[in-house]
Each structure stands twice: as structure tokens, then as C-alpha cells.
Amino acid sequence: MGCDDAWDTWMDASSPDIARVEASEADRAAFQQDDMEAGLDDMELLEKYRRQQWEANSRWQLNVFAQGQLGSWEGVCTPYAAEVSPSGGVEMLPQPSAPCSSHAAVEKNNAVECSETGHDARLALNMQLTPSSFDREKGCMTVGTAYTMSRRLDAEAAGGLLIEVGLREKAQRVRCKFLYLPDDESRGSGPAQMLRLEKLAVVRENVVGTAAPAASPPGGGLYDPPPGDRTNYFSLYCEDGLTLVFPTTCATDAAGFISVDWTAGAMRYQADRKFHQLDGSLASLELTEISAADAETYLPDFNTGQ
């Protein structure tokens, strides 16, 4: 028993109603057909599929990072020291600025080699990035021209942590570094230690061979403040349209965020590195992009303050 011929529709091969498969996809088998070995149950299939998708995402993130950050950069690094004031609060004291440079290039193994000079060695992220580097547990992620990465410090500062958040706009870039060390009173007290901000650095760069941008007023707060408890958080308003919001002290098992808001020319960006625990891992990297003019008019409905 078959179908009535009246249901058949014959079309010329040149008909616009026929969509041709791309040559690059023609030989690729469907996931369910050839990619899976026999004998796997549904949960094993799902786990393998998730792993393949994550590996593909990691390769894509490395490519996005390379497209946005490769090249030679030069600029100025301005460090800030975190000091406890007589009242018990925290003050961020600017230190003398110094010239700095950085470079990122693709190596023969398709890894991205990152290096930098010109500031405190503890703040340097000289590292090789591969697809496996872009993992939430390792604290590395990129979205558009924003990225974040982290490095757990060696035995000299056991339990210490360096976090970097970067944003690029055309030939300009800003990189913000946060150095956390174990609080002396909690060092060795158990898995949930307190970390305190030891030092912060703002690196303003431009592509080598391009002119540095003209100075602009300080930042005026976050465009879209993340929700949550902001006890022990500090807002730092820096020159050139930059606002940083970050914890000055935080338990290693506490959730939180580090935000960088930057107005660069006609654009305004906000990058939020969110974490479930302050151990170098991250929950997400979220990027907001809006024209600087529109940011003054179109505010998020859930904006709760600066």
C-alpha cells in the first residue's frame, strides 16, 4: 500500500524552493549515526554529546579571544594599594604609573602565547592559552571583545589569586587586575578562608603604532549593577570613563562578582565576572554593550543604583 501520486510534487533541480546542503556539511554524519559507539545508554549519550559541545565551544572561545586580543600593545599601568583606614574601612591608594607592554601571538600548535612586562610580577599573566584553557573551573572565558582569566598563585602566596578582566574598543584596550591574598588571621584556618584585596592595577593600552586616546572624565558608576549583597564591596571611579566594582574581602566559599564599566569613544561596555566561590573559577562572564549616548536614556528596568 503506497501514497497517492497526487501527493507528489516534482521540481526542477534549479528551483529556488530547493535548499542545497553546504559542501562542508555534506559528508558530516548526524550525531546519532556514526559518532557514538554501540552500547551507550541515553545518559551516556547525553554526557558525551555535552562534552563534544563544550569542546567545540572551547575551540570557538579561543578563536574569539585571538580575533580580539592578538598583537602588540603598549600603554600605562596604574597600580592601587588596598589600605585599611583608621575608621576600619578600605581605601584604594593610587601608586605611581609606569609604562607597560603586552603581546599575544598564535604559536605553531595553534595555542595563543600571552606575555607582558612593566609592572609587579605578581600581576603578570604570562601564559599559553589552548582550547582547554577556556573552562569555568579554570576561570577563563571570552564574550565578544571582553575576556576574563585567573591564576592561582604559587606556594609563595599559598591560596592567593589573580583575576583579570579586559575590554577592547577598536585600537584601545583596558585590563583590570585584582590580586587577592589570604587574610593573615584566616590563613590555614580551613577550606573557607577569607581573601583580601592586596593590590589592583588598571592597564590602559593601545595597539602599537596607533595614537593613545585623549584623556576623558572618570567613570560614573555601573550601567547595569548586578543584584546581590554588596557588603565589603568597593566602587573605584577612574579616569577615562572607567568604573570598577569589586569585593575588598570575600570568603572563598562565597558568591559574588567583579564588574568593569568602560566608556570608550561612542561606546559603553560593562563586563561582569560572576563567581559561585572566590577560588579562581567563574559562574559566567556577561557583557553589556550600548552606545554612550543611549546609555544616558535607556536604563535597565532593574537598575538599582551605582
In a domain, 78, yes or no: yes
Contacts 24+ apart (CB under 8 A), 57-61: 57/134, 58/131, 58/132, 58/133, 58/134, 58/135, 59/131, 61/131, 61/134, 61/141, 61/142
Q: Number of structural domains, the chain?
A: 1
Give the other-Cβ count within 10 Å of 137's Cβ.
Answer: 9
- Domain enclosing residue 88, as ranges: 73-99+144-295
In a domain, 273, yes or no: yes
In a domain, 108, yes or no: no
In a domain, 284, yes or no: yes
In a domain, 15, yes or no: no
Give the other-Cβ count within 10 Å of 215's Cβ.
Answer: 9
Residuewise pLDDT in 10s, the chain (306 residues): 555 666 667 777 666 666 565 665 555 555 444 555 556 677 888 888 888 888 899 999 999 999 999 999 999 999 999 998 888 889 999 999 999 999 999 998 889 999 999 888 889 999 999 999 999 999 999 999 999 999 998 655 567 899 999 999 999 999 999 999 998 776 555 566 899 999 999 999 999 999 998 999 999 999 999 998 899 999 999 999 999 999 999 999 999 999 999 999 999 999 999 999 999 999 999 999 999 999 999 988 754 444
In a domain, 10, yes or no: no
Q: What is the pTM of this model?
A: 0.82
